[in-house]
Amino acid sequence: MKFVDEAKIYVEAGKGGNGACSFLRLKFEPLGGPDGGDGGDGGSVFLQADESINTLVDYRFVKSYKAKDGEKGGTRDCTGKSGEDLILRVPAGTMIYDDHTDELIADLTQPGQLACVAQGGRHGVGNAKFKSSVNRSPRRTIPGQEGEKRYLRLELKVLADVGLVGLPNAGKSTLISAMSAARPKVADYPFTTLYPCLGVVSVSRYHSFVIADLPGLIEGAAEGAGLGIRFLKHVARTKLLFHVVDVSPIDGSDPVENIRVIGQELAKFSEDLLKKERWLILNKTDLLPPDTAQAYCEDLVKRAGWKGKVFIISGLAQAGLEDLAKQAMHYLSTEQDREDWEVS
């Protein structure tokens, strides 16, 4: 079960062009001095955050990238052409690591942000540069340097305002498709969602937020079970969590126990995750008898000991979603105003 928020690639910058060894030979100047030009610099490899890209899936199929070499120097002091830089585009939120040393090279959080991951080789020097009063006919040149070569590990942490957490088949994909224009895969088997799906929820003409449908958690995820760590690391960058719970699980499990499992896995991975604002979203209430649904949900919340906000919804029937979106927008706007105030 492969998850497309991580990829390993090899990058190689271009080699610098060699310096030329040449002497001027003209009709009326047969013994001209040295005129070998310098080589061109090798192209560098850059990674740039692009808001139009959502996953690293392309880098799973093409794993090796090389920038252009610099051209060698020419006669008559002509400098060789520098190699063209190679710019690889990745989603915003991509963290770049050196796969051998585990060093964090860059964290591309903003669209357009650029990071050099392999520096092009320096140009070589032609023999014209070594001419002096002592040596009028130098034959010495300096070759171009090799470009940097690196094995990189790319990790994508989703940049979203709201993240959906919950067990597999809690209805997260249905919820995000009902609240936004996103169309994640929806099916009745676990781990339908294998990679994050982003959607934009429009509350009004000038107010919207980004919501992420993240792969389902299972017990033991913090130790790597299921999609484990690859899911949990995405939660770190969201501002608000929707803890989605199926109130009528098809496997007959207790929704209260399911709430506890998710809370434990978040705590095991990072105590900071428990400090994030997390709202309980009781989903699939359309499967409950209408006359007992409210009382059932209230009893469920009481047994779970939930202290935060609770929303009773149905993603499939699109019930309760408008209020949920409006309150989420209000919370995110308030948090943004608070952050702006603290910065200023």
Tell me: the pLDDT tens digits for 311-329? 999 988 888 999 999 999 9
pLDDT for the residue 227: 44
pLDDT at 221 over 60: no
Tell me what pLDDT residue 258 has.
Answer: 86
DSSP three-state, residue 105: strand
pLDDT of 181 higher than 60: yes
pLDDT of residue 40: 96
The pTM (predicted TM-score) of the whole model is 0.62
Q: How confident is the model at residue 269 (pLDDT cuts 50, 70, 90)?
A: low
Highest mean pLDDT among 196-200, 215-219, 313-317: 313-317
CATH topology for 6-156 is Spo0b-associated Gtp-binding Protein; Chain: A, (2.70.210)
- The residue written with tokens 């509350």 in the block is 203
What does the domain layout of the chain look like in residue ranges?
6-156, 162-343
More confident residue, 337 or 63: 63
Please state whether 263 falls in left (phi above 0), alpha (psi between -120 and 50) or beta.
Answer: alpha
Q: In what order do the strands lie in the sheet with 45-50?
A: 86-91, 45-50, 114-118
Strand order in the sheet with 6-12: 64-66, 6-12, 149-156, 94-98, 104-108
Instruction: Single out the residue of 248, 219, 247 nearest to residue 231, CA to CA.
Output: 219
Name the CATH code of domain 162-343 (choices 3.40.50.300, 3.30.565.60, 3.40.50.1400, 3.40.50.720).
3.40.50.300
Sign of CA dihedral 17, 22, 27, 32: positive
pLDDT in the model for residue 283 = 92
